[in-house]
Amino acid sequence: MSEEKNEKGRRPLWPHALALPVLVAVVWWAFHWQLSALQWLGLLLIAVVLWHAVQGRGRKRGRMGPAVRWAAAGAVVTAVLATLPLDQPWRAPWFPGSGLAGSVPDPCEVAAERAAVLVPEASAPETGGYRDIATDQRTCGWQDEQRLLYLTYRLFPWQGTDDRSVASAERAFAERREHAEAETLAIGDEAYREGRDGTRITVQARRANVVVDIKLYALDGAAPLGEAEAGDLRRLAEEAVAAVTTG
């Protein structure tokens, strides 16, 4: 009877099959959203609590007394509360209503329908881009014997502590807009179109922390963009901006 009782006491509070995926998800989430040092401390304490929880009540090595549990829980709460004013998680892309984008859509998928009209003889699109701690850029391009079309998304990721992602996107947009003889467009938060002759056209727009850049070039000897095609180019800009999802 006592052995059966001890065996029950050795059962873990949480099944390992549940605790391990939770730990993996927490670590992935921390890396993905670039958390601060204080948040890492809080996550480390959470991991310690989970690890002790899966050891089982009956093992002396894994046993956590009430005082230890309360101390660990208090440390976690303190770490989380201390980092809130710094990181403002309610402005993170994963927080509903934050207004920030955490990723950008596939430009090839977004522009496929309009590219078939603007560059009808183009072969398979060419993709490119790069990613670092400050920028995530994705590009897709189409080319035939008459025209060259590019759609580029440039994301300025949320940085956590002292975030400046929207300000960085605004600055990148303003740097191009400042030197352009352009027409202002009512697309996204701000947008403009440069190139009135219909042969070298740039449409740039911004939504929150994402800058959308569309370039259409008529190659040597090609006819400029017609009125209907100009409408397709504007609709492409509208669709590209609308495809950006924010929290």
Nearest CA among 156, 201, 154 for reference residue 180: 201
* Whether 121 and 238 share a structural domain: yes
Quote the CA–CA distance of 62 and 10 in Å, as a whole number: 10
Are 58 and 135 contained in the same domain?
no
Please report, for residues 171, 197, 219, 223, 229, the alpha-carbon distance to residue 182 in angstroms, rounded to integers and kept in the order given.
17, 12, 21, 21, 18
pLDDT on residue 58: 45
Number of domains in the chain: 2
Q: What is the CATH number of the domain that holds 158?
A: 3.40.1000
Give the range of the structural domain holding residue 201, as residue numbers without chain letter. Answer: 107-242
Give the pLDDT confidence of 75-104 residue by residue, as tens digits.
667 766 766 676 677 777 877 888 889 889
Residues of the chain with confidence (pLDDT) below 50: 1-5, 7-10, 12-14, 57-59, 61-62
Q: Note the pLDDT of residue 1.
A: 47
Q: What digits encode the pLDDT tens for the residues 185-227?
A: 999 999 999 887 778 889 999 999 999 999 998 887 777 778 8
Co-location of 80 and 114 in the same domain: no
Domain end call among 87, 116, 147:
87
Provide the angle, in degrees to the nearest 10, between the axes of the packed helices 37-53 and 16-32: 170
Check: CB of residue 194 under 8 Å from CB of residue 202: yes
Q: What is the pLDDT of residue 15?
A: 53
Same domain flag for 124 and 65: no
Domain shared by 68 and 157, yes or no: no
